[in-house]
C-alpha cells in the first residue's frame, strides 16, 4: 500500500466522503475480480460472484484503518472470501454440484458427438471445453462422474428440438418397432466387416451380454464395449448421413 493510499483512507475516515471511498474501491477492484474468479465452477455465475465480492470490498474499505498494521489487501481478502462463502452457504439449498453436472452432461455429450464426427476421431477434453465454453477440468469431472455413476437425467434434452427423455417415455408398439428394427438391423449388418458383424449378431441376434461375447472371443469385456462403441459410431455416420 502506498502513502497515497494511506492518505486516501485517512481522508475517507476523516470526511466520510463517498467519492473518496469509491476511488479506493476502484483502485482495489482487481481484488474482487481475482477472488471471484477463484470460486468459479461452483454453480454460481461469475457476475453474481463479482457482485458479492465487490460489496464485500466496499465493506472492507469502510472498515479499514491504516494504523491496523496490515496492508489493505491483507485485511480485505478474508472479508471478501468470507462474504463469498457466506453467499454459497445461503444458497446451499439451491446450489448442488451434482445437479450442475447433470445439466452440463448433455452439452458435453453433444459436443463430444459433434466433434467426433467432424474430426473423425474422439476429441480431447480441451477441444470439448473450447466448444462448450467450459474448462477441460469440468469436462473431465463431468465425464468421470457420469461414468462412475452411470446416470442420465430424465430431464435431459436428447434431441435438437429440445425434447427431454421424460417426454419420450411411452408405450412401445411391438409391430412397428419390429419392422423398423429388422430393416435397420439388416442394413447395418451390410455395412460391417466380418468381426463387427459377428459381435452385432451375437449381441442383438442372440441377445448375449458383452461379458459372454468377451468370453467367446477370449478378450476383455472392456474390449467388446469399445468395439461396440466403434461400431455404433461407424453406423451413425453411415446411416445418419444417408
Partner 1 sequence: MEKKAIKLEIPSVKSYSRVLRLTAAGAADAAGFNIDMIEDVKVIVAEVFSSIIEAGCKGAKINFTPYDGKLVVSFATCSGEPVLKGANEMTVPILEALAGSVITEEDGGLTLIIE
Which is nearer to partner 1, 89 or 229 (by Cβ)?
89
Q: Which is nearer to partner 1, 97 or 179 (CB)?
A: 97
- Which of helix, strand or coil describes residue 164? strand
Nearer to partner 1, 130 or 157 (CB): 130
Residue spans of alpha helices (H) in 92-219:
97-119, 125-132, 136-149, 165-168, 174-190, 194-200, 210-217
Phi first, then psi: give them for residue 152, nearest 5 degrees. Answer: -135, 150
Which residues, in sequence order, are CB contacts of 55 under 8 Å at separation 6+? 83
Note whether 104 binds partner 1 by CB under 8 A: no
Describe the chain by its helix, strand, coil percentages, rounded to 5. Answer: 75, 0, 25
Residues 128-147 that bind partner 1 (CB under 8 A): 135-137, 140-141
CB atoms within 10 A of CB 49: 22
Report the residue from 74, 195, 209, 220 that binds partner 1 according to the rule CB under 8 A.
74
* Residue 53 vs 188, nearer CB to partner 1: 53
Q: Is the CB of 132 or the CB of 210 nearer to partner 1?
A: 132
Residue pair 156/102 in contact (Cβ under 8 Å)? The answer is yes
User: Quick check: 136 and 129 in contact, CB under 8 A?
Assistant: yes
Tell me whether residue 76 or residue 111 sits nearer to partner 1 (CB atom): 76
DSSP structure string for 22-38: HHHHHHTHHHHHHHHHH
Quick one: which segment of 8-16, 30-38, 155-163, 186-194 binds partner 1 (CB under 8 A)? 30-38
Question: Of 63, 65, 71, 226, which one interacts with partner 1 (CB under 8 A)?
Answer: 71
Dist CA 101 CA 42 (whole Å)? 10
Closest CB 9 distance from partner 1, rounded Å: 16
Among 15, 26, 34, 185, binds partner 1 (CB under 8 A): 34
- Show contacts with partner 1 in window 42-61 (CB under 8 A): 42
* Residues 142-171, interacting with partner 1 (CB under 8 A): none
Binding interface with partner 1 (CB under 8 A): 31, 34-35, 38-39, 41-42, 71, 73-74, 77-78, 81-82, 85, 88, 96-97, 135-137, 140-141
Amino acid at each position: 500500500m502506498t502513502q497515497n493510499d494511506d492518505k486516501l483512507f485517512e481522508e475517507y475516515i476523516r470526511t466520510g466522503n463517498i467519492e473518496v471511498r469509491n476511488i479506493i474501491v476502484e483502485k482495489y477492484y482487481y481484488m474482487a475480480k481475482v477472488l471471484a474468479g477463484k470460486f468459479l465452477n461452483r454453480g454460481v455465475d461469475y457476475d453474481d460472484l463479482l457482485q458479492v465480492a465487490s460489496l464485500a470490498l466496499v465493506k472492507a474499505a469502510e472498515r479499514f484503518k491504516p494504523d491496523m498494521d496490515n496492508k489493505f489487501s491483507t485485511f480485505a481478502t478474508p472479508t471478501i472470501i468470507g462474504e463469498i462463502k457466506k453467499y454459497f452457504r445461503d444458497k446451499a439449498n439451491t446450489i448442488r454440484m451434482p445437479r450442475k453436472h447433470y445439466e452440463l452432461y448433455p452439452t458435453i455429450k453433444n459436443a463430444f458427438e459433434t466433434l467426433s464426427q467432424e474430426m473423425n476421431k474422439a476429441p480431447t477434453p480441451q477441444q470439448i471445453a473450447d466448444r462448450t465454453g467450459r474448462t477441460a477440468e469440468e469436462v473431465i469431472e463431468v465425464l468421470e462422474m457420469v461414468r462412475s455413476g452411470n446416470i442420465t437425467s430424465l430431464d435431459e434434452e436428447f434431441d435438437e428440438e429440445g425434447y427431454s427423455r421424460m417426454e419420450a417415455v411411452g408405450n412401445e408398439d411391438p409391430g412397428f418397432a419390429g419392422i423398423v428394427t429388422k430393416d435397420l438391423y439388416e442394413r447395418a449388418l451390410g455395412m460391417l466387416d466380418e468381426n463387427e458383424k459377428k459381435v452385432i449378431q451375437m449381441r442383438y441376434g442372440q441377445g448375449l451380454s458383452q461379458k459372454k461375447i468377451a468370453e467367446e472371443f477370449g478378450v476383455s469385456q472392456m474390449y467388446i464395449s469399445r468395439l461396440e462403441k466403434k461400431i455404433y459410431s461407424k453406423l451413425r455416420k453411415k446411416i445418419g448421413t444417408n
